[in-house]
Chain A
Amino acid sequence: MEKERTLWGEFIKGFITTNPLLVLMVGLCSSLAISTRVESCIFMGMAVIFVLTCSNIIISLIRNLIPDQIRIPIFIVVIASFVTIVDLTLKTIPAVYERLGVWIPLIVVNCIILARAEGYASSAKVSHAMMDGLGIGLGYTCVLLIMSVVRELFGTGKIVMFEHTIISLGTNKMPAILILFPGAFITFALLSALLQWYQQRRKPEIEGG
């Protein structure tokens, strides 16, 4: 019994039910490494949304032309072309480009994008694939923003965006561990535990997970 798939449903599912980071557990690497600065997260989120949406649209458009045996190389070539566009575009903002470093070329092998191309866009209508790309991309960006706000605010005591201090806690005696490498793992563990706690409270009859 296939449920009727609406465009809005395809869009909204990326936030909670199939959130790429917290539920599907793909694309973790970039989210942990980037989330030390809110500013970098905004650029990274935009880059991922762009690549994901465009590659979903293209792959969905040509899905009937792709021979099954060589579909993965074709997906990768499509994705790599859009990543090159992002790479060359971001090069015009040297400060951001330097900070994101190797993560821009690594969007090619970001599991989120290949997973959505392989698992969704290659068998969905173009409009659905586009909404899926937007939704999943925004879901990724949301988690990225939550993590970076927590880490930057409580790790350094203030949030700096484009050389302006947005929020300041008025002290710089903060636990620096949050901004360091272990802090990324801890922040993600707490977020993930929060989601499990919420799900277990909502469905107390289903044990474990």
Chain B
Amino acid sequence: MHEAWRFFLLFFGAAIVANILLIRFIALCPFFGVSNSLETSLGMSISVIFVMVMATSVSWLAWNYVLDPLEVGQFLYIPTFILVIASLVQFVEMVIKKTSPPLYRAMGIYLPLITTNCAVLAAATESVKPGFFTKLNIAYSYGFVEAVIYTLGVAVGFSVVLVIFAAMRERIDLAPVPKFFRGVPIAFIAAALFSLAFMGFAGMFGL
């Protein structure tokens, strides 16, 4: 029971309290680039959840069984992790292309874009090195299961906000907005209010 509660806190903290988009500003480029329509943002979310969890698992194994024992971690972690992510994305792309062409067409351009999604690298890095939301990381003992749950939380937080924001932007497009605020500026104002709302979660469960 105690263990389950700790996992829930880790998940909830990563997904909502320290939301990767609105509180930590990681991965804003896809946030503003892909959130034009609900459909594309859904495709992006699913691919990100999948790739992120896989990338963290492999990076965690690489760090704990190869880089750290050989004591080359601090020199090689950046190239290693980014290569892990890039090859995973390529691999996932090939598998999906073979097994399910309709899904491949639906995900299309978003799959390769995930390589440069900062959130994936951030989650992988933070699963082996302490991040800057220290409170989350105290609860965080760097076990494999915790790393995966943390990453799942990050990815779900990313997806939830991305999808809600896409739905909001579809409405904003129809709204009467001052001329020089159209497009990007009003999207940022909306994001500011959204972020203000998420700040309300700070301190929940003492996270």
Same complex origin of A and B: yes
Q: Are B29 and A185 in contact (CB under 8 A)?
A: no
Least CB distance, B51 to chain A, in whole angstroms: 13
Main secondary structure of the interface of B (DSSP, over half): helix
Within 8 A of A (CB), among B111-142: 115-118, 120-122, 125-126, 131-132
Closest B residue, CB atoms, query A28: B28
A190-B32 Cα distance, complex, nearest whole Å: 16
- B189: A residues at CB distance < 8 A: 185-186, 189
Q: Are B118 and A84 in contact (CB under 8 A)?
A: no
- Bits for A82-123, please: 1 = Cβ < 8 Å to B, else 0: 011001100000000000011001101111001000000000
**For the complex, is B199 an interface residue (Cβ under 8 Å from A)?**
yes
Q: Are A182 and B78 in contact (CB under 8 A)?
A: no
Within 8 A of B (CB), among A3-46: 25-30, 32-33
**For the complex, is B181 an interface residue (Cβ under 8 Å from A)?**
yes
- B120: A residues at CB distance < 8 A: 109
**For the complex, is B86 an interface residue (Cβ under 8 Å from A)?**
yes
Q: Are A182 and B186 in contact (CB under 8 A)?
A: no
Closest B residue, CB atoms, query A194: B180
A37-B77 Cα distance, complex, nearest whole Å: 27
Least CB distance, B147 to chain A, in whole angstroms: 15
Among A30, A180, A193, the one with the most B-chain Cβ atoms within 10 Å of its Cβ is: A193
A204-B182 Cα distance, complex, nearest whole Å: 16
Q: Are A105 and B121 in contact (CB under 8 A)?
A: yes
Report the stretch among A53-61, A71-79, A136-144, A153-161 that lies at the interface. Answer: A71-79
A87-B74 Cα distance, complex, nearest whole Å: 9
Closest A residue, CB atoms, query B80: A80
**For the complex, is A209 an interface residue (Cβ under 8 Å from B)?**
yes
**For the complex, is B40 an interface residue (Cβ under 8 Å from A)?**
no
Q: Are B188 and A186 in contact (CB under 8 A)?
A: yes
**For the complex, is B172 an interface residue (Cβ under 8 Å from A)?**
no
Least CB distance, A54 to chain B, in whole angstroms: 15
Least CB distance, A128 to chain B, in whole angstroms: 24
Q: Are B192 and A106 in contact (CB under 8 A)?
A: no
Main secondary structure of the interface of A (DSSP, over half): helix
A106-B29 Cα distance, complex, nearest whole Å: 13
Q: Are B26 and A106 in contact (CB under 8 A)?
A: yes
Q: Are B79 and A182 in contact (CB under 8 A)?
A: no
Closest B residue, CB atoms, query A33: B25
Q: Are A101 and B74 in contact (CB under 8 A)?
A: no
**For the complex, is A197 an interface residue (Cβ under 8 Å from B)?**
yes
Q: Are A111 and B185 in contact (CB under 8 A)?
A: no
Of the candidates A32, A102, A193, A208, the one whose C-beta lies within 8 Å of that of B185 is: A193
- A168: B residues at CB distance < 8 A: none
Least CB distance, B96 to chain A, in whole angstroms: 18
A135-B196 Cα distance, complex, nearest whole Å: 34
Q: Are B77 and A105 in contact (CB under 8 A)?
A: yes
A193-B101 Cα distance, complex, nearest whole Å: 42
- B116: A residues at CB distance < 8 A: 109, 111, 114
Query: Given contacts A27-B29, A76-B86, A114-B116, are A185 and B78 in contact (CB under 8 A)?
Result: no
- 6 CB contacts below 8 A, A to B, read A28-B25, A29-B118, A33-B24, A109-B117, A185-B192, A196-B181
A residues engaging B (CB < 8 A)? Answer: 25-30, 32-33, 72-73, 76-77, 80-81, 83-84, 87-88, 101-102, 105-106, 108-111, 114, 177, 180-186, 188-190, 192-194, 196-197, 200, 208-209
Given A72-B86, A106-B118, A181-B196: 15 more A-B contacts, CB < 8 Å: A28-B25, A29-B118, A33-B24, A80-B78, A102-B126, A105-B125, A109-B117, A182-B195, A185-B189, A186-B188, A186-B189, A188-B188, A189-B185, A196-B185, A200-B180
Rank and list the top 10 A-B pairs by shortest CB-CB distance, nearest first.
Answer: A189-B188, A185-B192, A101-B132, A33-B25, A197-B180, A193-B185, A182-B192, A80-B79, A196-B180, A28-B28
